Structure formats: structure tokens, C-alpha cells
Amino acid sequence: MKKEEAPKVMLLSPIFYERYADNTEILAKKNRPYLVLLVEYRSLKFAIPFRSNIQHTHAYKFECENAKRTSSGLDFSKSVIIFNEDEVGMPAHIDSKEHTELMKRYVFIVEKFQKYIDDFIEGLNKEPLPPKYNFSSLTFYRSFLIKTAKQSEK
């Protein structure tokens, strides 16, 4: 893995939500933007959403003790790809304990996410799509991810 920059926690812009309104797996609630961690991998920019209640293993769950959020973390399955800078909004802040853990475990989190992406792309080449990926927001980018993976193999 190349040396990563400092973690960037941002909001997605309203433009992003307008452009991808037909991706029904994107996390979106009226008047409540999701915080995301931006990660670059395979020459793509991914936005991984922070969630307060993750009930599956395709994620990084914070280990810090926080009574309000017992299973909070970064949900890899609800990641999206950012194609244009106007799709990223303002910088955002997260809980201080989670921020401390994010800073300490950033390289580990990025490596875990990269493995998820590699496994996901491998799964896209199977018919039918493995059930563990059925509700991933990344299925929206299926043809793009397959094409990008084939180009990087050359």
C-alpha cells in the first residue's frame, strides 16, 4: 500500500445525491447528510460512509467505548465512487474517540477496505452476484468497476 495522506472526513454534496438519485442503495436521509471517509484506490476516489449501527461484517467497527453507538464504524458496503470534485461537500467532524481511533488505525482501515474492493470486483465477475454483495451501493458501478479492473490487469 502506498503511503496514505491524513484521513479526510467530509460530507457528500447535494449535487452528488442529485446525480445518483437512482442508486437506491446509497445512504440518504432527508436533511441528514452522511459523513464519509475519502479513500483513493485503483485510481478511484471512494467515499465510505460512517454509520452508527452496522449489523454486518463488511465494515470497520470502532472499538472505542461509546455508550451511544455500540456498533458504529465505516460501512464498506455502502461506499460510493466520487467522479467529480463538486460531489464532495464540506469537511466534517466525528466523535473525538472515533477520530482518535481513526488516526491510529487509518492504514489498517484502508487496507481492509482495499481487500473489500478487490473481493467485491472478483464477485462482480460471478453470475449470479454473491448474496453478500446484493445490497451494496457499489453494484450501481458494476460495469465501470469490471472495466476498470480489466484495464488495470493489462
pLDDT of residue 154: 63
Q: What is the mean pLDDT of the chain?
A: 87
At 67 the pLDDT is 42
- Residues 89, 47: contact at Cβ < 8 Å? no
Band of pLDDT at residue 4, cut at 50, 70 and 90 = low
Domain membership flag for residue 1: no
Taking only the tens place, the pLDDT of each residue in 41-93 is 999 999 999 988 888 899 999 986 654 556 889 999 999 999 999 999 999 99
pLDDT band at 125 (very low <50, low <70, confident <90, very high): confident
- Beta bridge pairs of residue 32: 29
CATH number for the domain that contains residue 67:
3.10.129.130
Q: What is the 3-state secondary structure (H, E, C) of 49-71?
A: EEECECCCCCEEECCCCCCCCCE
In a domain, 3, yes or no: no
Assigned domain for 94 exists: yes
2 domain residue, yes or no: no
Q: What pLDDT is attached to residue 53? A: 86
**Domain for residue 145, yes or no?**
yes
The per-residue pLDDT for 59 is 95
**Whole-structure pTM value:** 0.89
Domain extent at residue 102:
8-153
Neighbours of 93 (CB within 10 A): 8
Name the phi and psi angles at 81, rounded to 5: -105, 135
Angle between helical axes of 96-124 and 142-153 (0-180°, round to 10): 80
Can you tell me the mean pLDDT for 140-149?
88
21 domain residue, yes or no: yes
The reply to whether 36 falls in a domain is yes
Q: Based on the structure, what is the number of domains in the chain?
A: 1
Q: Quick check: is 76 in a domain?
A: yes
Q: How far apart are CA 91 and CA 35, in angstroms?
A: 9
